[in-house]
Amino acid sequence: METLGQDLETMRRVPLAAEHVDAICAIGGEKLYPAGTIVMDIGEPMDRFVYVLEGEIEVVNPYTGERMFESGLGPTQFLGEIGFLSGSTNYLKMRAAVDTRVIEAPRRGVLELMSRIPELSDHLITVFAARRRKQFELGNAAVKVVGADRDAAVQAVERFLSRNRIPFKSYDLDAKDEQSVQVCTLIGHEPAVLLGNGTRLEDPTPRKVAQYLGLDLDICSRRTYDLVIVGGGPAGVAAAVYAGSEGIEALVVEDTAVGGQAGTSSRIENYMGFPTGISGTDLTWRGQVQAMKFGTRFVMPRRVEALSKRDDGSYCVTLDDGDELCARALLVATGVQYRRLPLANLEELEGAGIFYSATEMEARFCAKTEAVVIGGGNSAGQAAMYLSRAASHVHLVVRSGSLAASMSSYLSQRLEADPRVTIHYHSEVTALHGDDWLEGLTLKTKDSERRIDTRALFIMIGAAPNTDWLSGLAATDDKGFVLTGAAAGQGDDYATTAPGIFAVGDVRAGSVKRVASAVGEGSVVVSRIWQYLEDTRPQG
């Protein structure tokens, strides 16, 4: 299956071309770091490009002060990873191992060079992406998550970091290895999130971690963009790529993690170009990197709560803490979210045995227990197949009598043939059991009921659009999906009843609920938005 970035271990080291180095030198300056000097510290913004001329830069363990890896960065190499594109926070402590001479250039200047020199852009992004992959896989970062299996708030942070492919290290409170014992002792053997050199985050939330990492951009109140894209799923990310490539100044606002509902899918096998499959998170992460290369900005996790229209025809979105963003055009790409079941104790057990995504993070809770997946769509089917590798057995609960109408044929055939999966047709969950963590559930099938002992329930039913924030400015159908095209009295398939507001993807009434169609709509709509911006551009 395709994964993010290239394998840094097998990449051939290729120095920057001489003309590219000359271009960087022209906008930068030479600097000397004596041995032992910190070149870039944890928590420092990645606002400069550092190219090594002589010497060596090493990665430092922030807890021991010792060198972390045998190899370092030497002449012709450079610092940074994919966060450089957005200017986010540095995750690693970098130190001059010997007297080291470098060229330092401002980030904005290097980004401008990348926009003009595609060969330089390709080289830097390939290395940056490979480094992010390596950091993510090894957990080399400034964020340490301790005891997520015992605390829903800590688990929410871990899920946010994982889905956004942000490097972090997870520690089990019961682990006996030296490093885990050291970290757990540091925080008194209680669930916690550590930042930087051991700063404990009080009342941890994804938003607080995002602020520390520079993901929650410092947005100027009433700043006007060309386009604000609400929603970072496949449709929103595709639009972000094409908007950036067309020179449209765009900002994507995402309330959870880039990837949307597709990001909860462990494996997508029917998306063209990936014959061995790709996870929804990796697919949209690649798109996010492309969009950032073209200058599109992402802000998360921020939720849009209201929408208003100004006298000049532009639109302003109000975010969850009162910040306001304005744009001449707005793209609604908020997708849909899984519905909750009307069960007692559901909210109390969310994150404590009840989940709405099935990725590597959630799969670990299935070890030595039976897992139950509720839903008959592709997402539920993919989840059942993925979880069957970790759980002792998987139960797929379906209200109807067949999977044919709601699930791809290849997937339903696999499920029906898999001895590790039992499909319960004409069934529903009627009760949950457990206080601090899910211990079991009651399954009703026609006229009979039975209890299934499980510590992992995955709910993937229905699709509720997230459109209340539109404040009535763009019309929706009786289910909340945005009306576009002929249904909205428009000749444009993606135009809504409000001039300058467009909608794409699953949130659009009548759309095909598939990743490929969402990407296609997000790509196509940009040409309409560009034309609208041109037609309404203020004179002079």
DSSP lists the bridge partners of residue 209 as none
Question: pLDDT-based confidence at 303, cuts 50/70/90?
Answer: very high
Closest CA to 499 of 466, 474, 526: 474
465-496 confidence digits (pLDDT tens) = 989 999 999 999 999 999 999 999 999 999 99
Q: What percent of the chain has pLDDT over 70?
A: 96
DSSP lists the bridge partners of residue 319 as 304
Contact in structure between 126 and 86 (CB atoms under 8 Å) = no
3-state secondary structure 428-494: EEEEEECCCCCCEEEEEECCEEEEEEEEEEEECCCCEECCHHHCCCCCECCCCCECCHHHHCCCCCC
Q: Which residues contact 361 (CB under 8 A, 6 or more apart)?
A: 158, 159, 162, 163
Question: pLDDT-based confidence at 1, cuts 50/70/90?
Answer: low
pLDDT of residue 474: 97
Instruction: Tell me the CB-side half-sphere exposure of residue 391, using CA atoms within 13 A.
Output: 30
DSSP lists the bridge partners of residue 449 as 444
Handedness of CA 301, 157, 380, 352 (dihedral sign): negative
pLDDT of residue 140: 75
Tokens of 140: 């080399």
**Can you tell me the mean pLDDT for 274-285?**
88
